[in-house]
Amino acid sequence: MFLRTSALKSLSSVSHFGIVSRRLASNKSLKDTIEEVIPVKQAHLKKLKTEYSDASIGDVKVGNVIGGMRGLRAMLWDSSVLDPEEGIRFHGLSIPDCQKALPAAPGGKEIIAESMLWLLLTGQVPSAEQTRELSRELAQKGTLPSHVESLIDSLPRTLHPMTQLGIGVAALNHDSSFQAAYEKGMKKSEYWTHTLEDSINLVARLPALAARIYRNVYKPGTPLPEIDPDLDLVGNYARLLGYGDNQDLTEYLRLYISIHGDHEGGNASAHTAHLVGSTLSDPYLSYSAALFALAGPLHGLANQEVLRWQLSMLKEVGEEVSHDAIREYLWKTLKSGQVVPGYGHGVLRNPDPRFIALQEFCESKPELLNSPIIQLVKKTYEVAPGVLKEHGKTKNPYPNVDAASGCVLYHYGLTEFKYYTVIFGVSRALGCITQLVWARALGLPLERPKSYSLEAIEQLAKSGSP
């Protein structure tokens, strides 16, 4: 169903799902492009229902049921697939493929959120002009409603930034196009159009919302600039945060937010958005729920834990760190009963391609190559897999994206740990809202798995009943 080749095919014509589609489209709008793709996807879904509904694609074991449903093939998520060996692909394109194909900001080199969003929503690589037009649309829609500004400003500075972000996103549903149209009575065939409208508005407003939270918590009284209509989404986000003059940090944020935007549907935040969205909650409510899942220590807070651990190591072993000193610190961490943060992944069994992309970014910047914390990340990568293999209790001894992401932010001066997951939240919206749109376009049903008690599971296991 999905392309598995590692090489980028011709950008003008790539086969997906048994069809051939032009990757470089004309100057059609995003909505027009999605409207063109929907009948093809609907036909494909109908074929699956008609011809393969009773086909088995895996067995459910007791370990799956009591182990967090890990590994179960039980969810439709069309924009990306995560392979244990090769990592994430977006409509068949690897991260290096996307870096070659997707438009960057004027004067920049890295993927921008708009081009990734277009790819996720349509399965097509946008032209530079389509990307610029989407940037202009997002900037035009990026100002927060006054009631949301007042709400965020009223929250205590001590309230976690992720809690504030979830509250702000939920409050945006006051102006939901989907909710208003549903209350008036609309056709099911129109669900996706109002969901798309809400989704674009949500993505557009996230930078202003996230920056306002940053200002209130960490730099109270600092004025917020207006949104610049000539900048892309992340360019404006960096500017609103007060880092608009730092082009290297802005480029890093562009890369981070783009490649972090979707990571299949089984992760907690994406799955939460899908589940809540299946009740026909609007995108604001659906994504606010996803943000509260993202706020958990086992999900979006991981990059904070990595940075704390790396800084503790740096403090103990010093800046002139050796491989032997890192090895000793790794064993100290493991023998204390802790895990090595930033290593291992629920699905991957090789180094995370997102980590590799961030490492390559670091290697292209002389100031990062000379940074003690970035050098520590690199040297830890050279030592940690061997130690973890010797330890023998880690299925994947390789780094995930969190092993590097927070450390780069820290180097560039964005040192407020608790805020890092908010940046993750701005990013992950790209994939979550994509699937909300497509769930409505394809008419996906309410998600409702079957549950069993411990006793019932044991009886089924003993009897061998299906």
CATH number of domain containing 267: 1.10.580.10
Q: How confident is the model at residue 100 (pLDDT cuts 50, 70, 90)?
A: very high
347 is in which domain, residue-wise? 302-411
Residue 345 falls in the annotated catalytic set? yes
Q: How confident is the model at residue 15 (pLDDT cuts 50, 70, 90)?
A: very low
pLDDT at 133 over 90: yes
φ, ψ for residue 6, nearest 5 deg: -85, -15
How many residues belong to the chain?
Answer: 466
- Between 112 and 298, whose confidence is greater? 112
**Shared-domain flag, residues 264 and 323:** no
Looking at residue 13, its pLDDT comes to: 39
Residue 299 falls in the annotated catalytic set? yes
Poorest-pLDDT segment among 125-134, 139-148, 392-401: 392-401
- Domain presence at residue 118: no
Looking at residue 320, its pLDDT comes to: 82
Token look-up 């998600």 returns 447
**Shared-domain flag, residues 289 and 434:** yes
- Alpha-carbon dihedral sign for residues 140, 146, 151, 157: positive
- Domain presence at residue 460: no
Q: What is the CB neighbour count within 10 angstroms for residue 462?
A: 8
**Shared-domain flag, residues 425 and 363:** no
- Between 381 and 300, whose confidence is greater? 381
Spell out the alpha helix ranges (H) of 298-371: 302-317, 323-335, 353-363, 366-369
Count of structural domains within the chain: 2
**Shared-domain flag, residues 309 and 437:** no
342, 344, 347, 351 alpha-carbon torsion, rounded to 10°: 80
Angstrom distance (rounded) from CA 348 to CA 358: 17
Poorest-pLDDT segment among 13-17, 88-92, 275-279: 13-17
Q: CA end-to-end span of the chain, whole Å?
A: 27
- Domain presence at residue 113: no
User: Residues with Cβ < 8 Å from 458, sequence gap 6 or more?
Assistant: none
Token look-up 């049921």 returns 65
Angstrom distance (rounded) from CA 402 to CA 409: 11
| Chain centre distance of CA 127 | 23
What tens digit of pLDDT does each residue of 416-432 get?
999 999 999 999 999 99
Are 153 and 146 spatial neighbours (Cβ–Cβ below 8 Å)?
Answer: no
Q: How confident is the model at residue 79 (pLDDT cuts 50, 70, 90)?
A: very high
Looking at residue 466, its pLDDT comes to: 60
Instruction: Sort 463 into a burial class: Cβ within 10 Å, 0-12 / 13-18 / 19+.
Output: exposed
Structure tokens at 175: 């102006």
**Shared-domain flag, residues 320 and 199:** no
What tens digit of pLDDT does each residue of 187-210 get?
999 999 999 999 999 999 999 999
**Shared-domain flag, residues 369 and 342:** yes
- Domain presence at residue 253: yes
Structure tokens at 39: 């009948």
**Shared-domain flag, residues 239 and 255:** yes
Looking at residue 465, its pLDDT comes to: 65
Looking at residue 349, its pLDDT comes to: 82
pLDDT at 307 over 80: yes
pLDDT at 53 over 50: yes
- Return the ∠ at Cα 27 (arms to 24 and 32), rounded to 5°: 95
Residue tagged active-site, from 44, 175, 228, 299: 299
**Shared-domain flag, residues 250 and 267:** yes
- Domain presence at residue 242: yes
φ, ψ for residue 280, nearest 5 deg: 75, 20
pLDDT at 19 over 70: no
pTM score of the predicted model = 0.91
Q: What DSSP string describes 253-309?
A: HHHHHHHTS---S-SHHHHHHHHHHTTT--HHHHHHHHHHHHTSTTTTTHHHHHHHH
- Domain presence at residue 156: yes
Residue tagged active-site, from 91, 260, 274, 345: 345
What tens digit of pLDDT does each residue of 228-282 get?
999 999 999 999 999 999 999 999 999 999 999 999 999 999 999 999 999 999 9
Strand, helix or coil for residue 63: helix
Mean pLDDT (whole number) for 48-57: 91
Alpha-carbon distances of 1 from 4, 92, 206, 264, rounded to whole Å: 9, 10, 33, 15
Angstrom distance (rounded) from CA 7 to CA 86: 12
What tens digit of pLDDT does each residue of 310-355 get?
999 999 988 888 999 999 999 999 999 999 998 987 787 889 999 9
Q: How confident is the model at residue 26 (pLDDT cuts 50, 70, 90)?
A: low
Are 233 and 203 spatial neighbours (Cβ–Cβ below 8 Å)?
Answer: yes
Q: Which of 86, 419, 446 is nearest to 279 (CA)?
A: 446
Looking at residue 357, its pLDDT comes to: 96
- Alpha-carbon dihedral sign for residues 274, 275, 277, 278: positive
- Between 393 and 51, whose confidence is greater? 51
**Shared-domain flag, residues 398 and 277:** no
- Domain presence at residue 198: yes
Q: Which of 371, 397, 394, 425 is nearest to 261 (CA)?
A: 425
Looking at residue 431, its pLDDT comes to: 98
Mean pLDDT estimate for the chain: 91
Are 172 and 205 spatial neighbours (Cβ–Cβ below 8 Å)?
Answer: yes
Strand, helix or coil for residue 410: helix
Token look-up 């995370």 returns 352
pLDDT at 12 over 80: no
Q: Which of 421, 428, 168, 427 is nearest to 272 (CA)?
A: 428
**Shared-domain flag, residues 293 and 275:** yes
Looking at residue 121, its pLDDT comes to: 98
**Shared-domain flag, residues 330 and 402:** yes
Are 165 and 209 spatial neighbours (Cβ–Cβ below 8 Å)?
Answer: yes
- Alpha-carbon dihedral sign for residues 45, 51, 53, 56: negative
Determine the angle formed by the axes of helices 302-317 and 420-441, rounding to 10 degrees.
150
- Return the ∠ at Cα 310 (arms to 308 and 316), rounded to 5°: 105
**Shared-domain flag, residues 399 and 422:** no
Residue tagged active-site, from 97, 198, 282, 402: 402
Mean pLDDT (whole number) for 366-379: 92
Rounded percentage of the chain residues whose pLDDT exceeds 70 = 94
φ, ψ for residue 87, nearest 5 deg: 90, -160
